[in-house]
Structure 1
Amino acid sequence: MATPFFSIVTPVYDPAPRDLQATVDSVLAQTFTDWEWIVVDDASPNPEVLAVLRSAAQAEPRIRVRERDSNGHIVRASNDALERATGEWVVLLDHDDLLEATALERVAEAIAGSPGVGYVYTDEDKIGPDGTLTGEFRKPEWSPERLRHQMYLGHLSALRHDLVRRVGGFRAGFDGSQDHDLALRVTELGDPVVHLPEVLYHWRIVPGSTAGDTTAKDYASEAGLRAVRDHLDRVGRAQDRVVMARIAHTYRTIRHLDPRTLVSVVIPTRGAHGLAWGVERCFVLDAVLSLLAHTDHGLLEIVVVYDSDTPDDVLSSLRETCGEALVLVEYARPFNFSEKCNLGYVRASGDVVVFLNDDVEIQSESFLEQLCAPLEEPGVGMTGARLTFSDGTIQHAGHSYYADQFVHTLHGALDEDPGPFGALVVDREVSGLTAACVALRREVIDEVGGFWTFLPSNFNDVDLSYKVRSTGRRLVWLADVHATHFESRTRVSTVHEWEHRAILERWGTPEHDLYLPGV
């Protein structure tokens, strides 16, 4: 294949001349030589800035400088650069950041190895005033749900030029989040997105930069909010709403579930009682009560798969609570969680089926609506909730699979902790989801065959997660769909070596988790 020709695009406005010179040096040091650098000075007030740029252009003909007479802000300056770019690929570089010497070479190799690719992004870190490198961000594999809620692609981004032209370049009015808006529009076109898992870009920490202060540039958050709103309209989710999440530059989607969707909630139980938060409770009854109190969805079916020794008074209370929405399914065999879930599914009628443990208490409003609505989008195969222990720490924020391990991501973190790079704040793709609370469309369950009954207790959700992902569908963890999980209050869980061996032999694991490789 012919090697790509890169157009590096950099709008410049009043960086420290020393930092700008370091950026110039990092471009000139590239081991890959088929590039041009289009630099647009946006009327920087410091004359030393233009002196650095003019000197660089005089010494290197591949550097072309456009000098604006007036300040037009970053979108206009960036579009000025795009208009002059001639390469098949556009590479975005800020005016005071640094490229690794092999950055363009490695991106070119990624393009050559991925026919039809439209977007390549790399890992990054931060560089301090003293040159110290910190804050390494090992990014997930292509994660469109996370991109919707956070511009995680960031630096280094390389975009195929014809796609950038097709969407019209950067859009006026999105200064500060112009790259997020562009990334959403380009990736919506459907061309493959490739992650190059190497730190090839160093993001400089300067006063007022979001590299050093995530609260900086509030106007950028507002622009990002509008970018996501427009994105939702374009992808057919006009009834969804988008609001700011709890840290800057992250967003939350409040989704609309089609009221015509019949949702079946399958709850395996043996009707156990116990203490939670110092109060005696019947777990399954309280789970159902909390579920009904936190949903307004009308088409709802509760399928309770109960052991034969479940107390009669528990079943009577369920009938009284659920009325005609209740489907009771007796289970008279030795404990097998997978089999109980499958049996419940067979008796369920819903378009969407939610599998829910009996030892949960729903916390967030519109719980079922928010859990199930993402399944209306093409490519989403399974969704899962944020589960916290009774002490408020994280029990489930997705599964991570790596190095022969299957673990709950960020297990035990404080609920208020945003997590690394906002991982506990935003909806995002994950490797797996716990069967304690998941939702799937009926046709997906049919396609993958439900739960693997060979695993009666542990890792059956790992197997289900792998099977759904094997169909090409995505698994989405929802940061604001929240329940408390009184884990192991109704059954003591013991992991056996044969279970671990069975799931490893069936699926294996990558060396690093696909979606949180740095955790």
Structure 2
Amino acid sequence: MRPDERGAQPAIATIDIMMPFYGRVDHFEAAVESVLAQTDPDWRLVVIDDHYPSPEAGRWLLDIGDPRIEYVRHESNVGINRNFQESVERSTADWVVVFGCDDVMHPGFVARIRTLVEAHPDAAMLHPGVRIIDEDGSPVRTLVDTAKGWYRPSSAGTVVLTGEDLAVSVTRGNWMNFPAVAWNGPMLRATGFRAGYDVVQDLALVIDLCTSGGSLVIDPVVTFDYRRHSASVSSWKAADGSRFIEERAFFLELAERYRTIGWPRAARAARTHLSSRINALTRVPSALSVRDTASARSLLRHTFTTGG
């Protein structure tokens, strides 16, 4: 724990940064270095290596020799959903970030999260301002991100969403950048990621917290770089259309769930799943350019089909 400037006992202890790892080593190193560069040093970084073929990342990490860093390597690959859930289970702090192994924190990220926690101690989720970067680390604005930006609440100050308003916002737009989110640790561990999802597991967690009464705090101050590139799980599943099969099934189930609890606006948003359909439409030209007609048909089917 760190004392505050007045010497009083701190309200907030160490923040857990949990990093499921499987990907490019250079991006991984940049992510870790961004944690080491934090102006607020009160963090714990736990890297869970899902048996990436090369041991290079683990060797590099352990050579740092920082006692705040822990490293776990699986004996075999368990998959993204299980690795994310293990990140939840290994966390112990009151506030937890499930950090992407290819994303980058700005130096003031942890300090800003701590400020938000002090202002909103009972929140379930804290979402900082995010900048989108490409594979080379340059700022970029894709069509997908532009569409998602239509749905993200905009304000000069922080915004707090709860209940059906929160459900409508994230269901209609799915605009959140989940690796940037700080989660209320006890709430996160009590809920966890649902088994069986590889693409919408983050959104499912948000919905589960929302329907349990949890709130989302949205902060406009940019302290995080989210990397958008073709090598991510969501990107390659989007390219061949498989992500949208999972999304459609999820949204249909979600519409019924919302209807049951009496949230008609959220149920309508789930049936329409507009941003997901726009995302699918943007992938059609890529599929056609490589003559992948099967994927193109799948993408078009998702684009022009709703849940009624």
| Same fold flag (TM > 0.5) | yes
Deviation at 1:203, TM superposition (A): 1.7
Rounded to whole Å, the distance in 1 between the matches of 2:273 and 2:259 is: 20
- Tell me which residue corresponds to 2:217: 194
Deviation at 1:151, TM superposition (A): 2.2
Cα separation, partners in 2 of 1:134 and 1:87, compared to 1, 3 Å: same
Q: Deviations over 1:119-147 (max 9, x none)?
A: 11022122224432122876314343121
Cα separation, partners in 2 of 1:128 and 1:114, compared to 1, 3 Å: same
Unaligned runs of 5+ in 2: 1-9, 154-158, 282-302
Cα separation, partners in 2 of 1:210 and 1:17, compared to 1, 3 Å: closer
- Tell me which residue corresponds to 1:502: none
1:306-385 aligned within 5 A = none
Deviation at 1:214, TM superposition (A): 9.4
- Tell me which residue corresponds to 1:516: none
2:193 aligned partner, one-letter code: F
Structure 1 length-normalised TM: 0.44
Matched length = 250
1:19-168 aligned within 5 A = 19-56=27-64, 59-135=65-141, 139-140=152-153, 141=159, 142=161, 143-155=166-178, 156-167=180-191
Deviation at 1:195, TM superposition (A): 0.6
Cα separation, partners in 2 of 1:10 and 1:244, compared to 1, 3 Å: same
Deviation at 1:227, TM superposition (A): 3.5
Matched-pair contact (CA < 8 Å) for 1:128–1:205 = yes
Structure 2 length-normalised TM: 0.71
Q: 16, 19, 28: which is aligned to 1:10?
A: 19
Matched-pair contact (CA < 8 Å) for 1:210–1:216 = no
Deviation at 1:40, TM superposition (A): 0.8
Rounded to whole Å, the distance in 2 between the matches of 1:98 and 1:165 is: 24
Rounded to whole Å, the distance in 2 between the matches of 1:6 and 1:49 is: 23
Rounded to whole Å, the distance in 2 between the matches of 1:39 and 1:227 is: 29
Matched-pair contact (CA < 8 Å) for 2:103–2:225 = yes
Matched-pair contact (CA < 8 Å) for 2:51–2:75 = yes
- Tell me which residue corresponds to 1:314: none
1:38 aligned partner, one-letter code: V
Rounded to whole Å, the distance in 2 between the matches of 1:121 and 1:159 is: 9
Cα separation, partners in 2 of 1:87 and 1:115, compared to 1, 3 Å: closer
- Tell me which residue corresponds to 2:271: 242
Deviation at 1:215, TM superposition (A): 3.6
Q: Deviations over 1:386-406 (max 9, x none)?
A: xxxxxxxxxxxxxxxxxxxxx
Cα separation, partners in 2 of 1:91 and 1:218, compared to 1, 3 Å: farther
Q: 190, 208, 213: which is aligned to 1:185?
A: 208
1:223 aligned partner, one-letter code: E
1:162 aligned partner, one-letter code: P
Deviation at 1:213, TM superposition (A): 8.0
Deviation at 1:230, TM superposition (A): 3.8
Matched-pair contact (CA < 8 Å) for 1:150–1:249 = no
Q: Percent identity, please.
A: 25
Based on CA coordinates, which of the two structures has the bigger radius of gyration?
1
1:197 aligned partner, one-letter code: P
Unaligned runs of 5+ in 1: 251-424, 426-478, 482-519
Larger RCO (CA under 8 A, 6+ residues apart): 2
Cα separation, partners in 2 of 1:60 and 1:191, compared to 1, 3 Å: same
Deviation at 1:4, TM superposition (A): 4.1
Rounded to whole Å, the distance in 2 between the matches of 1:147 and 1:212 is: 19
Deviation at 1:26, TM superposition (A): 0.3
